[in-house]
Amino acid sequence: MREIQDRGMLADYLRQYELETIFYEPFRPHLSLYCFDQGEFICSQGAPAEYLYVLVSGKIKIYTTSPEGKTLILNFMKPLEIIGDIEYLKETDTVNTVEAVTTVHMIGIHHRWLRKFGQDYAPMLQFLLDMITNKFYIKSNFLSLNLMYPVEVRLASYLLSISFDDADTSGEKQRTAINLVDAANLIGTSYRHVNRVIQKFCKDGLVERDKGYIRVIDRKGLSDLAGQNIYEVVTKGGTNQ
């Protein structure tokens, strides 16, 4: 993580996502713009939570880990999304692990400034309420349906989510390192099942394997198989392509 020392870029993000009223003048000196590189953790499950983050650029992966060490993807998110809202309101440790899938820009503010300037500020409270309500609606639907989808759909959705960045318009095939054991854990199935499905995808011309990498060669075919990508959802103020 590194702080981007560019107040103009920060102001541009506030305007772009209509956050100027929410983060009104007293907040401004205490807002920071951060960059997280691909694969970097924004926060880790169980760690102390001190900041509220607003995702304004890039894509993140949100997942949970059981006491036995099993992990399960909850979803992938694009702007506009907030991280640390529940932790701020409940004053609890970090609930889920959040990882950058692409290079990510986040607006961050420490909880103490939220308490000082936002605790009785109606636009901020309404913003948090809207985002949390939407988040619980998504989670309720996702958790009830996720494991009911065939592994083929879950794996196709996972490959689409980790292999493509909307900012990439080059049309080039994407080559992504993928650990099949991790993929199996994250989509809630066995390594053998994932391996069989990958072999089928290769046979069908959707992907190819190359020295530990998976290369997506037919994005449309994967999209047709996945239907609506179950790991990427539309959030209030954001869009998914």
Q: What are phi and psi of 6, to 5 degrees?
A: -145, 95
d(CA 95, CA 84): 8
pLDDT in tens, the chain (241 residues): 999 999 999 999 999 999 999 999 999 999 999 999 999 999 999 999 999 999 999 999 999 988 888 888 888 899 999 999 999 999 999 999 999 999 999 999 999 999 999 999 999 999 999 999 888 877 776 666 666 889 999 999 889 888 755 444 444 455 677 778 878 887 888 999 999 999 999 999 999 988 778 888 998 999 999 887 677 755 544 443 3
Helix and strand numbers, DSSP H then E, in the chain: 8, 12
